[in-house]
Structure 1
Amino acid sequence: MYFVSLFVLFATINGLVLASFEQDGVVSQQPEQVHLSLGSNPSEMVATWTTFNSAGQPIVEYGIKKLDKTAKGQSTEFVDGGSEARSMFIHRVTMKNLVPGQTYIYHVGSEFGWSPIFWFTTIKNGSDWSPRLAIFGDLGNDNAKTLPRLQEDAQSGQFDAIIHVGDFAYNLDTDNARVGDQFMRQIEPIAAYVPYMTAVGNHEQAYNFSNYVNRFSMVDSKTGEINNHFYSYDVGPVHFITFSTEFYFFTNYGRSQLHTQFEWIKNDLIEATKPENRALRPWIVTIGHRAMYCNLHFPNYTECLNRQTNFRKGDSEFPGLEDLFYQYGVDLEIWAHEHLYERLWPIYDEQVYNGSLSEPYTNPGAPVHITTGSAGCYEGIEYNVMEQAEWSAKRIYDYGFSIVTIHNSTHLSFEQLSAEKGHKVVDKFTLIKDNHDSYETRKLTSS
């Protein structure tokens, strides 16, 4: 652990120095904002970082005990849409032929300069293991209450991956994207050590979501291609499907992507629910920013109604998602956007389908929905909510983040930690599924 401590110290000090140099225009080819994401399989890891001038061929040097392997990648110039048209260079390198479940050290850079040395542990191969993931949404630069604990837990190996369910920095594009740079520096002590998986939120919409699209590298496991708006991947016994709720609300950028995404989700679900695939990875979890079920007071209540018509149920112009998720037996749906934590009873079409009165989350008759949007931002906690709806099981109005552990093919546990209570567990439930078929099939079988 001695060399690890030195690396942390060096990374922290060096990161602060580089940030001040970049602002003064002295160092512009030095790597910063380093973060990881999963590749197309457990033997791959993608490293992404930023420089402010072209820095030649991007390189990652890595290895188990020493930096004895090299991978090269590609760079793209990103020009922010703000008034200054600030330019930055985004570098992406995929490390391949990694040993699943193994810890590696690495650094990123080029002939013009190198980052500090970081480390990561690859996810294990196959489905017979128990991943543990941190999940949250709505994390900003200011009032980032959960950030210190996330940094500490990420570097101490508490998580196999982290999922950020939309709304970054507040906002990535603000001050000609300087706020985005600050945010990416702040999450480096997390994201340089643990795969940082993302979903797009409403606060990323500026310039057709360009800051979000350019800064992250989310690989779809089926195609091996990057698509930060919608993609899927496997971790242990769970199949994650991440998609954009924002296509339904920012239609000024067009509507064709709505239908493209819907068909992609449907095809992904068809593939994931083939008997041989569902037997291997029985859990299907969806990740999207705005929750299907919402109960805010005016003026935000109109947004809740819009979610019902054009997002949850759909209409002739908007392909709704609730029926699709119900049809293909999605187990858990995770959302953010509302700055609180809310756990719902198993629900479909506004009706509660608990497994039983005493064990509502044992073999429920519908998906379970969780909203976890209280990681911390300058907008604070969301108190503008109506009386608790019949389908709402639990609400918590303080800052925190969630942890999901997929124990095996039948048991998944979910915890909410409160930053205001010393990260004490303030809510917990276990979802138990003896089978993961379509809810429609189960309803017919039980009748």
Structure 2
Amino acid sequence: MTQRRDSASSTTSRSRCIWHLEVTLRNLKPNSTYVYHCGSSYGWSSVFQFRTVPEASADWSPSLAIYGDMGNENAQSLARLQEETQRGMYDAIIHVGDFAYDMDTSNAAVGDAYMRQIESVAAYVPYMVCPGNHEEKYNFSNYRARFNMPGDTDSLWYSFNLGPVHFVSFSTEVYYFLGYGFKLLTKQFEWLEQDLAEANLPENRAKRPWIVTYGHRPMYCSDEKEYDCNKQLETYIRQGLPMLKWFGLEDLFYKHGVDVEIFAHEHFYTRLWPIYDFKVYNGSAEAPYTNPKAPIQIITGSAGCKEEREPFSKDLPEWNAYHSNDYGYTRLKAHNGTHLYFEQVSDDKDGQIVDSFWVIKDSHGSYPEVQ
């Protein structure tokens, strides 16, 4: 495949000027494999390949790997992810914030090394991302320059469709780094309202019944660290900014019938019971994830970084259904409009599945109004 570059941009980090080249591939055929490499007269990359999605893109069953908090040191999950991706196990990867630790370090040389490190994954499948707190330096400039997600928001928030799922990526960091301006927070919230409303139009929800969101910092937390699990900090994302309670996401996601919410930030894996406002709303005692009455939340932040793992609280809350602090990552298989399958891979246990569950829904949409 030969395609000339569409655009080039540069990022300045102190004394270094780093160039990023972008190419848009047009007229790709569905369900086809393309072999490519990148380069110029100065040299060429290795040869990679990717496969486009089927033409009837809502009527197939994509498989994804999902994780957050992977650095270029101690990236425990990377070797297994590389091998599985190149075997064709995944149709996309979702990285839920915190890259490299940190991309701006050493005049952004750490970011360069990290991008080379994930090339053996990201060159084969779409590598979908959202910003975490470790991307904050210089107004997220390394993150904005290095990743190119759908839309025109510098990859801070966006959505895309894959099989029967509408995925929504958002920035939790706009709630914490208000020094960069209040406008990002308001613009994101307005965009989320509009995107979720559109996804819930009858014709859209019928075609893609599942809505799955992902953002870096979780709404609920069972970390032993006081500063990470302080209720006031959790409230920013869940209920909105202090005092005024503006721009809270829990009510918004509940109103629009979000099915699954994925987070990272905590360096462990947690599966929550269906939850809203600190109350559990299982489908039933026997089948909690069959027709649940609230969104299901997952925290998957243990792919491995130099900060290593984090302990759980000694007294785990009632909404914590399962937890593990093994290094690892999450797999999602979207079987159809009624069945999602999740499993957690442990790198400590040589790829063993330490948790798995089905989410089964006969219908999708807003949850019952809570009195």
Please state which band the TM-score falls in when normalised by the shorter chain.
over 0.9
Deviation at 1:249, TM superposition (A): 0.8
- Find the residue that maps to 1:416 and give its secondary structure: strand
Deviations 1:344-376 (A, max 9, x none): 000001110000000000000000000000000
What are the within-5 Å matches in structure 2 for residues 9-88 of structure 1? Answer: 62=1, 69-80=2-13, 84-88=14-18
What are the within-5 Å matches in structure 2 for residues 227-376 of structure 1? Answer: 227-301=154-228, 303-308=230-235, 310-315=236-241, 316=244, 318-376=246-304
Q: Give % identity.
A: 53
Say if 1:358 and 1:245 are closer, same or farther in 2 by CA, change over 3 A.
same
Deviation at 1:112, TM superposition (A): 3.8
Question: Higher helix fraction: Structure 1 or Structure 2?
Answer: 1
Deviation at 1:301, TM superposition (A): 4.9
Say if 1:74 and 1:346 are closer, same or farther in 2 by CA, change over 3 A.
same
Q: What's the C-alpha RMSD, in Å, of the aligned pairs? A: 1.5
Deviation at 1:129, TM superposition (A): 0.5
Structure 1 match to 2:39:
109
- Give the distance between the partners of 1:299 and 1:331, measured in 2 at CA: 29
Deviation at 1:303, TM superposition (A): 4.0
- Give the distance between the partners of 1:430 and 1:267, measured in 2 at CA: 29
TM-score by length of 2: 0.96
- Give the distance between the partners of 1:287 and 1:393, measured in 2 at CA: 19
Deviation at 1:325, TM superposition (A): 0.2
- Give the distance between the partners of 1:317 and 1:326, measured in 2 at CA: 16
- Find the residue that maps to 2:216 and give its secondary structure: strand
Unmatched 5+ stretches in structure 1: 1-61, 63-68
- Find the residue that maps to 1:158 and give its secondary structure: coil
Amino acid at match of 1:76: S
Amino acid at match of 1:407: H
- Give the distance between the partners of 2:332 and 2:314, measured in 1 at CA: 28
Amino acid at match of 1:139: M
Q: Is the counterpart of residue 151 in structure 1 residue 77 in structure 2?
A: no
Amino acid at match of 1:402: T
Deviation at 1:85, TM superposition (A): 2.9
- Give the distance between the partners of 2:315 and 2:79, measured in 1 at CA: 33
- Give the distance between the partners of 1:212 and 1:301, measured in 2 at CA: 23
Q: How many residues align?
A: 368
- Bigger Cα displacement from structure 2, 349-358 vs 114-123: 114-123
Structure 2 match to 1:388:
316
Deviation at 1:388, TM superposition (A): 1.3
CA contact (8 A) 2:223 2:310 kept: no
Deviation at 1:231, TM superposition (A): 0.3
CA contact (8 A) 1:295 1:301 kept: no
Which of 147, 150, 162 does residue 219 from structure 1 map onto?
150
Deviation at 1:102, TM superposition (A): 1.1
Amino acid at match of 1:195: P
Which of 184, 192, 206 does residue 123 from structure 2 map onto?
192
Unmatched 5+ stretches in structure 2: none
Question: Which of structures 1 and 2 has the larger relative contact order (alpha carbons within 8 angstroms, sep 6+)?
Answer: 2
Deviation at 1:298, TM superposition (A): 4.5
- Give the distance between the partners of 1:256 and 1:430, measured in 2 at CA: 39
